Amino acid sequence: MHLHKYEKWWMVFGAGTLVAFLIILGIGAFHSGSHPNDSKKTIDYERVEDFKPFDNPGVHKVEGKDWDYEVVLIASAFNYNPGVIELPVNAKVKFIATTKDVIHGFQAAGTNINMMLEPGYISEYTTVVNKTGEYLIVCNEYCGTGHAFMYSTLKVVDPNATNDGE
Amino acid sequence: MQQTMVNKIMKVDPRDAKLAMANFYVAFIALLVGGLAGLLQVLVRSGQFKLPWGIGYYQVLTVHGVLLGLILTTFFILGFQVAAISRTVGPLTDGQRKIGWLGFWLMTAGTVAASVMVLLNKATVLFTFYAPLKAHWIFYLGLTFVVVGSWTLIAPQIMRFFAWRKENKGETSPLLAFMVTVNNFLWIVATLGVAIEVLFMLLPWSLGLVERVDVLLSRTFFWYFGHALTYFWLLPAYMAWYTIVPKIIGAKIFSDALARLAFLLFLIFSVPIGIHHQLTEPGIDGLWKFIQVVLTFFVTVPSLLTAFAMFATFELRGRELGSKGLLGWFKALPWKDSRFLLPFIGMVAFIPGGAGGIVNASHQMNQLVHNTIWITGHFHLTAATTVALTFFGVAFWLIPHLTGRVLTKKLNFLGVIVGILWATGMFIMSSAMHIVGLLGGAPRRSEYSEYGGATQAMEWIPYQIAQAVGGTILFIAIILITYLVIQLAFFAPKGEQDFPLAELAPSAEKTPAILENFKVWGVILLAIILFAYTVPIIDIIQNAPPGSKGFNNLW
C-alpha cells in the first residue's frame, strides 16, 4: 500500500512517541515494581472481621517487613473504619483494605493512593507518604445514596514539628 | 471508477428513510431527556439547587448515562448506517427492511422498559450497572432487548452489503458501506461481552434464580464491551469525516486504502483492551493489565492516520482554492457551513480528548485520575463533543434529505450557533472537570458534598459552579438542536437536500484486496481477543472469592 512521504514521517513520529512512552511505563512497572493495586488475595466479604488483619483495623507499626506501617481498613456503605489515618511523613506504608458489601473506592484526593475495593478481594498498595498535610479520603465509586458522604482523613504529620506554632 | 458506480444511487430509498427517521426520533428524544438530566446534575452539584419530589441525584445520573451513552448513540448510529447502506449499496429488500423494523421495535421496547424501572427508582445502578448493586430484573431485560434489537437492525445492513459484493464481484466496495460493515462487526463482537454478563450473570441473579454473582468477572465482561462501545460511537463520526466532510468542502477522499486500514485497525484493537478500565482493581495480574495497556496504545495509531488524512484533505482543498503560505488554506474552509463546522469542532476536541485517553490508559498514571472527574471531562470531550457534534452535523443534512426538505440558510445559521454554544459550554465544563480531577482529585459520580468541610473539598466547589455554567450553556444548545430537528423533520421547505458523499481523489492508489477480506481480519481479531483475555479470565474464575449477594436497598 502506498503511503505519502509526510505520512510516513508522521506515523514514525507518532508511533515512536507511543513506544517511548510505553517503555517508560514498562520500566516503571517491571523494573521499579510500580504497579497499581493488583493484589489477588481473596476473603469472604460477609465475615471480614473474622480474618486477620481485618480483625484489627487501624494504623499499625510493623517490624521486619519492607514497609514500616500497615493501614488496615474496612469500607462499608457508607463508612470507613478507621475514620482517621495518621502517619509520620516519609513512612513507607502498606494500605490493606477491603469492603463488607458493595464496591467502594479508596482515594486520598490529590495523591496516587487510589484503588478499588471489591467484595471478596483484598486491595493492597504500598507507597511512601512524603508530603505532610491533611488529605481527604473519598469513596470514588458509586455505592448508594450515602456515597458522597463517605469519607475519612489521611493525616501525614511531621513528628519533629508537632508543637511548632501551636 | 468505483465511485461512479456508487453515485448512480443518489438518494436513500424512501422506505429505508422511514426506518432511519424512526431511529432519529428516539435518538433526539433521548438527547432532550438525557440532556435535561445532565442539567439537573450540574445544578445539584453546584450546591445551589436541590431536586424536588424526592428524586435522587443518582437516579438522574442513571437517566443521563443510559439515555445519552446507550440510547442516543445506538439509535442515531443505526439510523445513520441504514441510510448510508441504502445510499451506497442500494435499498434493503422488503424482507430485510422488515427485520430492520423488528430490531427497531425491540430496541424501543427495551428502552421504555429500562427507563420505567429507572424512573421508579428500582434501577439506580448508573450506566455501568456494577454488581453487587442489584437493579430490578426488568431493567436488565430491557437492556438485553436494546442489544438484541441492535443486532436485529444490523443484520439487514450486513446482508445488503454482502449482497452488493456478490452482485459486483471483483470491485472494491463503496467506502462508506465498508465502514458501516466494520462498525457493525465491532458492535457484534463487543456486545457479546455485555450479553454474557447480563444473560448469564445479572439477569438470573436479579430474578433470584441464582443467589450470588462473581463481581470481578461481571466487571471484566462489562469492560470487554465498555471500551469497544466508545469506538462504536467514534467510528460513525470517522465515517462522516472520511466520506462526508471532504464533499462538503469540495474536496476528494485522500486515500481509500488508508481509510479502510484505519477502520480495520480499530476493529482488531478496540475490543481486547477493556482491562485498562480496571487498572486499580484487585484480582487481575499486573502483567496482564500491562499487556492491555500496550494494546490500548495501538488503538491510537488509526486515530493518528485519521488526523493526517483529515488535515491533508483540508490543506489540499485550501491550496486548490488558491490559498498561499503555510496556513493560508485554513481560511479557505467553509466556516459558515454547519455541516462542516460542527464535525470540525469535533475533530479539534479529539486532540486533547485523545491525549487525555492516553493518560487514563497508562498503567501507573491512571492511579492519579482513576474515578476522578477528570475521566468525566475526558469522555465529555471525546463522546459528547467529537462524536456528538459530528452526529449533529450529519443530522442537519441527513434529516432533511430523508424527509424531502432542505436545510435553509436560517436553519444552517442556527446550526452554526449550536456548534459555537456547544464548544463554549463544553470548554468551560470539561476544562473545569479536567483541572479539578487531575490537580484536586475530585471524584466523579458523586453528588454535592462538603465532606465535613475538608479544605480540599472546599477548593472543588468553584469548579463545580463552572461545570454548572458550562452545563447550562450545553442545555441551551440542546433545546436549539431539538427545535432544529423538529423544523428539519416537519416544517422546513420541501426540496432536495444533498447526501454529500465524496469521491476518491484521482491520484489515490488502488485499494489492496486484502483490506476487504473480512475472514483474515476476523481471525486476527479473534486471536488478539483470545490472547488478551484467556489468561485473565481463567485466573479470575480459578481465584474467585465467594460470590456476592445483591444489594438493592442502598439507594
- Supply the DSSP string of B119-156, one letter for each residue: HTTS--STTTT-TTB---HHHHHHHHHHHHHHHHHHHH
pLDDT at B530: 95
Check: CB of residue B62 under 8 Å from CB of residue B126. yes
Check: CB of residue A36 under 8 Å from CB of residue B539. no
**pLDDT higher than threshold 90 for residue B38:** yes
Distance from C-alpha of B510 to C-alpha of B490, rounded to nearest angstrom: 43
Check: CB of residue B129 under 8 Å from CB of residue B135. yes
Distance from C-alpha of B336 to C-alpha of B327, rounded to nearest angstrom: 19
Alpha helix stretches (DSSP H) within B321-408: 338-360, 366-369, 373-381, 388-403
Instruction: Classify burial at A47, counting beta carbons within 10 Å of its beta carbon; exposed 0-12, middle 13-18, buried 19 or more.
Output: exposed
Distance from C-alpha of B438 to C-alpha of B101, rounded to nearest angstrom: 45
The CA-CA-CA angle for residues B538, A115, B467, to 5°, reads 120
N- to C-terminal Cα separation, chain B: 61
Instruction: Give the nearest partner residue to A36 out of B363, B451, B457, using CB atoms.
Output: B363
Cell 471489591, residue located: A118
Q: Place B2 in a pLDDT band, splitting at 50, 70 and 90.
A: very low
Q: Which residues contact B355 (CB under 8 A, 6 or more apart)?
A: none
pLDDT at B299: 92
List of long-range contacts for B99-102, beta carbons under 8 Å, 24+ apart = B99/B152, B99/B153, B99/B155, B99/B156, B100/B19, B100/B152, B100/B153, B100/B155, B100/B156, B100/B157, B101/B19, B101/B22, B102/B149, B102/B152
Alpha helix stretches (DSSP H) within B441-544: 455-486, 518-542
Q: Say if residue B132 is preceded by a cis peptide, omega within 30 of 0.
A: yes
pLDDT at B6: 45
Take residue B495 and report the three cell numbers written for it. Answer: 426540496
**pLDDT higher than threshold 50 for residue B5:** no
pLDDT at A165: 47
By C-alpha distance, the chain A residue nearest B291 is: A26
Sheet containing strand A84-88, edge to edge, reads A84-88, A151-157, A133-138, A104-108, A114-117
Check: CB of residue B79 under 8 Å from CB of residue B20. yes
CB–CB of A22 and B294 under 8 A?
A: yes
Distance from C-alpha of B247 to C-alpha of B265, rounded to nearest angstrom: 25
Identify the top-confidence range among A11-20, A156-165, B474-483, B501-510: B474-483
pLDDT at A163: 58
Question: Which residues in chain B are contacts of A28 at CB distance < 8 A?
Answer: 363-364
Instruction: Give the nearest partner residue to A121 out of B216, B301, B555, using CB atoms.
Output: B216
**In the predicted model, what is the mean pLDDT of residues B473-497?**
97
More confident residue, B315 or B490: B490
Instruction: Give the nearest partner residue to A102 out of B281, B300, B554, using CB atoms.
Output: B554
Q: Which residues contact B58 (CB under 8 A, 6 or more apart)?
A: A142, A144, A145, A147, B124, B126, B445, B447, B555
Take residue B352 and report the three cell numbers written for it. Answer: 486533547
For residue A14, CA distances in Å to A7, B23, B35, B361, B381 come to 10, 38, 36, 17, 21
Element (H, E) at A19: helix A5-26
pLDDT at A1: 66
**pLDDT higher than threshold 60 for residue B393:** yes
Residue B78 CA, chain-centre distance (Å), reads: 11
User: Which of A131, A141, A155 should be substituted to probe chain B, the one whose Cβ sees the most B Cβ atoms within 10 Å?
Assistant: A141
Take residue B162 and report the three cell numbers written for it. Answer: 454482502
Cell 490500548, residue located: B296
Question: Looking at this protein, which amino acid is placed at residue A141?
Answer: E
Q: Place B443 in a pLDDT band, splitting at 50, 70 and 90.
A: very high
Confidence (pTM):
0.94
Among this protein's residues, is B444 annotated catalytic?
A: yes
How many CA atoms within 13 Å lie on the side-chain side of A166?
4
Closest chain B C-alpha to A161 CA, distance in angstroms: 21
Check: CB of residue B497 under 8 Å from CB of residue B438. no
Q: Say if residue A57 is preceded by a cis peptide, omega within 30 of 0.
A: no
**pLDDT higher than threshold 50 for residue B432:** yes
Distance from C-alpha of B508 to C-alpha of B516, rounded to nearest angstrom: 17
How many CB atoms within 10 Å of residue B234? 24
pLDDT at B170: 87
**pLDDT higher than threshold 80 for residue B197:** yes
Among this protein's residues, is B378 annotated catalytic?
A: yes
**pLDDT higher than threshold 50 for residue B491:** yes
Question: Which residues in chain A are contacts of B370 at CB distance < 8 A?
Answer: 107, 114, 116, 140
DSSP secondary structure code for residue A60 in this structure: E
Cell 478500565, residue located: B277
Instruction: Give the nearest partner residue to A18 out of B215, B300, B446, using CB atoms.
Output: B300
Measured over the CA atoms of residue A152, residue A158, residue A161 and residue A165, the dihedral's sign is negative
**In the predicted model, what is the mean pLDDT of residues B423-427?**
97
pLDDT per residue as tens digits for the range B47-94: 989 999 889 999 999 999 999 999 999 999 999 999 999 999 999 999
Query: Residue A153: phi, psi to the nearest 5?
Result: -130, 140
In chain B, the percentage of residues whose pLDDT exceeds 70 is: 98
Question: Which residues in chain B are contacts of A138 at CB distance < 8 A?
Answer: 441, 443, 446, 451
Q: What is the pLDDT along chain A (166 residues), one digit of tens a residue?
A: 677 888 889 889 999 999 999 999 999 999 998 999 999 999 999 999 999 999 999 999 999 999 999 999 999 999 999 999 999 999 999 999 999 999 999 999 999 999 999 999 999 999 999 999 999 999 999 999 999 999 999 999 998 875 554 4
CB–CB of A40 and B126 under 8 A?
A: no
pLDDT per residue as tens digits for the range B254-303: 889 989 999 999 999 999 999 999 999 999 999 999 999 999 999 999 99
Cell 473474622, residue located: A50
Among residues B49, B445, B448, B518, the one annotated as catalytic is B445
pLDDT per residue as tens digits for the range B134-172: 999 999 999 999 999 999 999 999 999 999 999 999 899
DSSP secondary structure code for residue B508 in this structure: P
Among this protein's residues, is B317 annotated catalytic?
A: no
pLDDT at A166: 44
Distance from C-alpha of A141 to C-alpha of B129, rounded to nearest angstrom: 12
DSSP per position, B36-94: HHHHHHHHHHTTS---STT--HHHHHHHHIIIIIIIIHHHHHHHHHHHHHHHHH-PPPH
Among this protein's residues, is B434 annotated catalytic?
A: no
Distance from C-alpha of B126 to C-alpha of B38, rounded to nearest angstrom: 13
Take residue A25 and report the three cell numbers written for it. Answer: 511505563
Distance from C-alpha of B243 to C-alpha of A69, rounded to nearest angstrom: 60
**pLDDT higher than threshold 70 for residue B1:** no
